[in-house]
Amino acid sequence: MNKIQKHAQNLIDFIYDSPSPYHVIDNSKKELIKNGFLELELTKKWTIKKGGKYFVSQNNTSLFAFIIGTGKIEESGYKIVAAHSDSPSFKIKPSPEISVADNYLKFNTETYGGPILSTWLDRPLSLAGRVSVRGKNLLNPLTHLVNIKEPILVIPNLPIHFNRTVNEGVFLNKQVDMLPVTSIINKELNTNLLLARTISKEINVPVEDILEVDLNLYDFTKGSIIGLNKEFISSGKLDDLAMVHAGLTAIVDAPVCKSTNVLAIFDNEEVGSRSKQGAGSPILKNILKRIAIVLDKNEEDFQRSIYNSFMISADMAHALHPNHPDKHDPINRPIINNGPVIKIEGNQKYTTDSDSSAVFEMICKEATIPYQKFVNRSDMLGGGTLGNVSAGQLEIRSVDIGSPMWAMHSIRETSGVDDHTYITNALSSFYRIN
């Protein structure tokens, strides 16, 4: 396995060890601490200095790491890479146990984001997330991370004999067709509070102390490098953990520069970013302002720092589909392993403009990194991402980019082995600008 393949394998390992946004942030914290970053808390007084490396988290599903620059912050500004920790999935509802004809037990779920539903059928699944339990402080319950490291769930398909037109297309009802089965009911199985009792064993806490859970389903099968020449990455959650991993790798290797380097990992992008830990909240603005205040800067200094800043909004991009090239623009059709994609949309669903695109193009040219451009077909609407949402809070120059991929929002997505090194090197080059 060569260096580029090892970097892709590191991504696959990171994704497999991060089955929920809580685990994404927990693993990111561990990597930052290992590389000399100090954790700050939003509720406590900060002491920071030039050249220092720090990070802070919100809800333990978003994280903001930064390296304080040596220059005057009002003149050198911030260099920001933004990504997100969440992916489309299914969340467990309260009191989830549902008995079917006294023979099967399944869990009640709701859809999170926009998954391609059919890809979740007939796959070994498990559960991961956060559990809140009784504590001494009524305003601060204790929390535990949970990852049930066994394939305990499956969402079974109907056989073709019961649905002869299935291959002509089938409508899947999220409440009827997408509920996962966990067990056969027998005399030995106590179905009452089954999930709570399972979690109780995992975290060694009495069932009666478990108050609430925030658990999502995930594909238990680990990703892999595939293709005749080992050129593809096949994994869940590439959108957007590939960008999280690239940004994390880049910032831990970044030197101290005049500008303050920032990695912003938001949550809830898949459901609109309108949460206290999402890009639509003032969380990033507040953190950047707090950095300036602690460095004895005033309001005008902070505003100057914003106008001297630049952000790369890093979210995955659509590659030319081999079976449906007609779905793409006739000219701007990104190819897997041909480099990062600059995403452009005239109606401002992406923040890219001629100025910010030129910045990213110069970064790539300087580092000898190939790059591509994506524009939707003129008769098709595309999705938005972090950049245009965060622009509602911070008027920072910004470009939307990402690695090209197939099957975005499938339980199993595909991207390029070479592309992961390309995007990591591009973000590293950005952080090294002095």
CA 90 to chain CA centroid, nearest Å = 15
- Rounded-to-integer distance, Cα 343 and Cα 353, Å: 10
Strand order across the 232-235 sheet: 224-226, 232-235, 413-416, 404-406, 317-318
- Rounded-to-integer distance, Cα 127 and Cα 146, Å: 8
In 3-state terms, the chain is what percent helix, strand and coil (to 5)? 30, 25, 45
What is each CA distance from 351 to 41, 59, 150, in whole angstroms? 31, 27, 41
Alpha helix (H) residue ranges in 52-193: 73-76
φ, ψ at 56 (rounded to 5°): -145, 150
Helix (H, G, I), strand (E, B) or coil at 3: helix
- Rounded-to-integer distance, Cα 374 and Cα 395, Å: 23
With contact defined as beta carbons under 8 Å apart, do 133 and 212 qualify?
no
Cβ count within 10 A of residue 206: 10
- Rounded-to-integer distance, Cα 78 and Cα 171, Å: 47
With contact defined as beta carbons under 8 Å apart, do 312 and 427 qualify?
yes
- Rounded-to-integer distance, Cα 329 and Cα 326, Å: 8
With contact defined as beta carbons under 8 Å apart, do 90 and 406 qualify?
no
DSSP secondary structure letter of residue 55 = E
- Rounded-to-integer distance, Cα 316 and Cα 237, Å: 10
pLDDT at 401: 97
The one-digit pLDDT tens for each residue of the chain (434 residues) are 899 999 999 999 999 999 999 999 999 999 999 999 999 999 999 999 999 999 999 999 999 999 999 999 999 999 999 999 999 999 999 999 999 988 999 999 999 999 999 999 999 999 999 999 999 999 999 999 999 999 999 999 999 999 999 999 889 999 999 999 999 998 777 778 889 999 999 999 999 999 999 999 999 999 999 999 999 999 999 999 999 999 999 999 999 999 999 999 999 999 888 899 988 999 999 999 999 999 999 999 999 999 999 999 999 999 999 999 999 999 999 999 999 999 999 888 899 999 999 999 999 999 999 999 999 998 887 777 776 777 778 899 999 999 999 999 999 999 999 999 999 999 999 999 98
Within 13 Å and on the Cβ side, how many CA atoms surround 126? 18
Name, in order, each residue with C-beta under 8 angstroms of 388's C-beta and a sequence gap of 6 or more: 348, 349, 350, 351, 400
Tokens of 299: 């309001």
Helix (H, G, I), strand (E, B) or coil at 212: strand
Helix (H, G, I), strand (E, B) or coil at 73: helix
What is each CA distance from 395 to 75, 309, 390, in whole angstroms? 16, 9, 8
pLDDT at 33: 98
DSSP secondary structure letter of residue 154 = B
- Rounded-to-integer distance, Cα 150 and Cα 79, Å: 41
What is each CA distance from 16 to 20, 84, 195, 370, in whole angstroms? 10, 16, 22, 29
pLDDT at 119: 98
Q: What is the largest CA-CA distance in the chain?
A: 72
pLDDT at 387: 67
